[in-house]
């Protein structure tokens, strides 16, 4: 028989040969093979790896393979892992791998065997399309290719594998095994092995397995291998960076521990305790503490050194020292006692209030003459929105002192002023100690806002706690409960604010110097609006003054119709509303400039809240003047006779007890002196009289309406109209004396607002009227009454 007759049958297809019955390793490759699918990634001819498959349904397949002489089967890659029990044979890829089985074993429902890859395999036809799957196969082999290109690719692959080895040590053993089994000159196993080394997706690896021609396969594998090298390099860099950071931290930790031990050995150890103590001692350097305080702090520092850092007592002591050493013991700021500078500051921040500015300048002048300002407690009293808080800031600025403000309104716990006892968890010093710590000098300006709104509860009475604080004789040795050390507050300038004096306890009020701020008249409000409020609102909205303006007439109309209260807070709100509504127009028409005139106000702000009040007139109707916490007001009082059936007297208008008594006194006085004032002596004997104070929804009380009520009753009894355009105030006694009243300035402002220029005031208030600024007295005709007869003379 010739050689040609012995040669296996060959099917040629391009550059691929499919020999049947090919001899490899002195064995003929079988023409029929059992098939098992694998799911993770394709198996390559150059690999030797363990394979695990489910016992069901592949146990029978493996038994049949083990009974064959060649012990081989075909592994095909199937993308979906859910095709374990069965798969569609038509969906298998073109090529799989012929593997020989070694060391098959069974454990826990799984079959395990070592698969040795031998060759690519291709299915020609199926003999069994259900487990165990059996197929007729043939074996594609690339035509031998030589040339520079193949060698170049071979070298590139080997270089890439060499680069990968140091980056990923996992591959080194596998590569050694491969080199032992294959010749490096054979490019086909080298290419397959290089593909098997990568972590490329299954589909890409299957493409490599399907590519039999040598050069094309190398072209596919080289990019995959290069990518693997890059990924491994990046991974290495990340690991190195992480290890470096961990190494640095460990090194730092070890060095610190070694330093501690070295310092301890040399006796220069400085643990956390020592560091704390040193910091507290450093804080006290340059401060002058009273001997008692110094002794106490030394004791606490010694105590700190013997306590364990983890004990609760250590934390309490450390906290105490933290507060005590942070205080500015003996540190005082230098006062700027320059009256010109002070006047400039006050004028810059406040329009009007000339008498208040003078009073503050007098107060500063005394300090300048003496060389220091100490032991002063100023109380600014006035309606809301007149600038009490900002005057406090101006005083601090004019003196060049730091300013600290806290509100005592609604404060119910005396510990807020004097601190908690140190034994309580979360104990803190009082607000005054906190203020000194923050301002870092012992002579700041401290403002206690809303002192008339202090509360009281079972936790104590803050008003009583303030007695020591605000007494220049006592606050030299102010004692805070937390510190339990004497503090000198005598150099602190306290500025308190209140709306009324009624709710401030007498002993507390007695310690303060009262400065009254009454409301602003329309001219002052206009100046404030132009100089301060309008520019502030424009800046707040970010509107350039060229694009939005308001006329003086419009400002006056806002003041008269929408913001008639004593202060300027409501006025500021209304101006803010005007700016907001104008900004809408500016956005809609970017080119337009808005000028607000008086006639436009109703479109912007709606109908005016305040109408020009009609001063009531007629027989038995008199205009009185009243003081309220919001400023002054006019108060008309009406008297009328209801019938003449019997004698009687009725009061209405939500009057308080004091006003009811004033009305009774006025009724008794006029009844008993009617003949003297030209009335019918028997008028009240048959008359049932009704006295009413309008605006029944508003509660009214106070001791200054007696004269007005008496005048209304006298006008009724004489049946005579009183003089027009006259307003009055004063308290009346049963003997006809007119007693002094308070709030003269506010009442004068209220009369001017109503265009009333003739006033009757008690003689005892002549001095108060004389002290008023000239612009308030201008154009007023004032009669001072000692007895009621003086009032009757002016009216009738």
The answer for residues whose C-beta is within 8 angstroms of residue 267's C-beta and 6 or more apart is none
333 appears as a binding residue in the annotation? no
Q: Please check whether residue 784 is in contact with residue 753, taking contact to mean a CB–CB distance below 8 angstroms.
A: no
Concatenating the DSSP letter of every residue in 381-450 gives: E--TTS-HHHHHHHHHHHHT--EEEEE-TT---THHHH---TTSTT----HHHHHHHHH-SSS-EEEEE-
Q: Is 389 known to sit in a ligand binding site?
A: yes
For the chain, the maximum distance between any two Cα atoms, rounded to a whole number of angstroms, is 172
DSSP state of 144: P
Contact partners, residue 89, CB within 8 Å, separation at least 6: 35, 123, 126, 129, 133, 135
The answer to whether 639 and 713 have CB atoms below 8 angstroms apart is yes
Q: Distance between CA atoms of 528 and 524, rounded to whole angstroms?
A: 6
Q: How far apart are CA 782 and CA 62, in angstroms?
A: 127
Q: For residues 695 and 621, give the distance between their C-alpha atoms in angstroms, rounded to a whole number.
A: 14
Residue 382 among known ligand-binding residues: yes
By the 8 A CB rule, do 46 and 198 touch?
A: no
Helix axes 170-181, 148-167, angle to 10 degrees: 140
DSSP string, 695-758: -TTS-B--S--HHHHHHHHHHHHHT-PPPTTEEE--EE-TT-BEEP-S-HHHHHHHHHHTT--E
Residues near 77 by beta carbon (within 8 Å), at least 6 away in sequence: 37, 38, 39, 41, 42, 43, 93, 96, 202, 205, 206, 209
Beta bridge partners, 27, equal: 24
Q: Contact 74/127 with Cβ under 8 angstroms?
A: no
Q: Which of the residues are catalytic?
A: 704, 747
Q: Is 387 annotated as a binding residue?
A: yes
Give first-to-last CA distance, the chain, whole Å.
164
Q: Flag whether 21 is marked binding.
A: no
CA-based nearest residue to 509, from 456, 566, 460, 454? 454
CB 46 within 8 A of CB 193: yes
Query: Which ranges constitute the DSSP H helices of 327-387?
Result: 339-349, 354-370
386 is an annotated ligand-binding site residue? yes
Helix or strand (DSSP H, E) at 157: helix 148-167
Q: Could you give the CA distance from residue 378 to residue 221 in angstroms, rounded to a whole number?
A: 92
Q: Is 388 annotated as a binding residue?
A: yes
Tokens of 312: 């609760």
Annotated binding-site ranges for ATP: 382-389
Q: Which residues does the annotation place in the binding site?
A: 382-389
């Amino acid at each position: 028989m010739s050689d040609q007759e012995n040669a296996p049958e060959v099917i040629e297809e391009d550059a691929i040969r499919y020999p049947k019955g090919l001899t490899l390793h002195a064995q003929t490759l079988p023409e029929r093979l059992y098939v098992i699918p694998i799911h993770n990634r394709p198996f390559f001819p150059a690999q030797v790896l363990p394979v695990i498959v489910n016992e069901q349904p592949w146990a029978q397949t493996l038994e049949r393979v083990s009974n064959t002489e060649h012990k081989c089967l075909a592994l095909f890659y199937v993308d979906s892992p859910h095709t374990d029990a069965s798969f569609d044979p038509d969906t298998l890829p073109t090529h799989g791998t012929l593997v020989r089985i070694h060391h098959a074993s069974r454990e826990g429902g799984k079959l395990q065997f070592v698969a040795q890859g031998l060759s690519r395999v291709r299915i020609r036809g199926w003999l069994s399309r259900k487990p165990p799957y059996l197929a007729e196969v043939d074996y594609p082999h690339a035509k031998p290719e030589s040339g520079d290109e193949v060698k170049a690719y071979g070298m590139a692959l080997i270089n890439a594998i060499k680069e990968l080895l140091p980056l990923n040590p996992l591959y080194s053993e596998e590569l050694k095994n491969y080199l032992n089994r294959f010749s490096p000159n054979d490019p086909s196993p080298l290419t397959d092995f290089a593909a098997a080394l990568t972590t490329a997706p299954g589909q890409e690896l299957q493409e490599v397995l399907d590519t039999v021609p040598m050069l094309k396969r190398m072209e596919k594998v080289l990019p995959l291998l290069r990518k693997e090298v890059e990924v491994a390099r990046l991974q290495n860099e990340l690991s190195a960076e992480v290890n470096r950071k961990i190494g640095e931290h460990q090194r730092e930790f070890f060095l610190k521990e070694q330093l501690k031990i070295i310092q301890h050995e040399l006796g220069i150890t400085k643990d956390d305790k020592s560091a704390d103590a040193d910091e507290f001692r450093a804080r006290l350097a340059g401060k002058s503490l009273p001997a008692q305080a110094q002794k106490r702090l030394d004791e606490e520092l010694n105590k700190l050194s013997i306590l364990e850092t983890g004990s609760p007592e250590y934390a309490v002591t450390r906290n105490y020292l933290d507060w005590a050493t942070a205080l500015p013991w003996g540190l005082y700021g230098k006062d700027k006692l320059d009256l010109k500078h002070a006047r400039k500051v006050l004028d810059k921040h406040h329009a009007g209030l000339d008498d208040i500015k003078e009073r503050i300048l007098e107060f500063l002048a005394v300090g300048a003459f003496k060389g220091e300002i100490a032991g002063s407690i100023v109380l600014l009293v006035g309606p809301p929105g007149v600038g009490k808080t900002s005057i406090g800031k101006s005083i601090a600025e004019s003196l060049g002192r730091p300013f600290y403000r806290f509100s005592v309104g609604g404060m119910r716990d005396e510990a807020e002023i004097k601190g908690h006892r140190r034994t309580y968890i979360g104990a803190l010093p009082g607000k005054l100690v906190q203020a000194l710590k923050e301002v870092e000098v012992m002579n700041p300006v401290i403002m206690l806002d809303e002192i008339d709104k202090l509360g009281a509860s079972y936790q104590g009475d803050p008003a009583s706690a303030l007695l020591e604080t605000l007494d220049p004789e006592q606050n030299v040795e102010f004692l805070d409960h937390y510190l339990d050390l004497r503090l000198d507050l005598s150099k602190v300038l306290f500025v308190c604010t209140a709306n009324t004096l009624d709710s401030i306890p007498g002993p507390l009020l007695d310690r303060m110097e009262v400065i009254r701020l009454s409301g602003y008249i329309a001219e002052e409000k206009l100046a404030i609006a132009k100089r301060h409020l309008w520019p502030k609102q424009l800046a707040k909205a970010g509107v350039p003054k060229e694009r939005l303006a308001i006329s003086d007439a419009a400002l006056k109309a806002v003041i008269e119709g929408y913001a008639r209260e004593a202060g300027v807070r409501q006025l500021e709100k209304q101006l803010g509303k005007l700016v907001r509504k104008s900004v809408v127009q500016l956005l809609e028409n970017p080119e337009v400039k808005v000028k607000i005139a008086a006639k436009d106000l109703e479109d912007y702000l709606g109908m005016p809240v305040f109408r020009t009040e009609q001063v009531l007139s007629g027989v038995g109707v008199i205009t009185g003047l009243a003081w309220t916490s919001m400023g002054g007001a006019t108060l008309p009082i009406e008297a009328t006779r209801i019938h003449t059936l019997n004698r009687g007297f009725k009061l209405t208008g939500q009057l308080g007890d004091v006003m009811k008594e004033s009305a009774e006194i006025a009724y008794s006085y006029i009844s008993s002196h009617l003949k003297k004032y030209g009335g019918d002596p028997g008028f009240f004997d048959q008359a049932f009289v009704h006295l009413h104070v309008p605006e029944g929804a508003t509660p009214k009380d106070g001791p200054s309406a007696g004269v007005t009520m008496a005048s209304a009753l006298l006008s009724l009894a004489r049946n005579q109209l009183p003089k027009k355009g006259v307003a009055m105030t004063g308290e009346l006694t049963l003997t006809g004396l007119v007693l002094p009243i308070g709030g003269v300035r506010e009442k004068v402002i209220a009369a001017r607002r109503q265009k009333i220029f003739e006033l009757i005031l008690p003689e005892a208030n002549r001095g108060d009227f004389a002290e008023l600024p000239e612009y308030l007295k201008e154009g007023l005709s004032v009669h001072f009454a000692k007895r009621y007869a003086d009032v009757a003379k002016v009216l009738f």
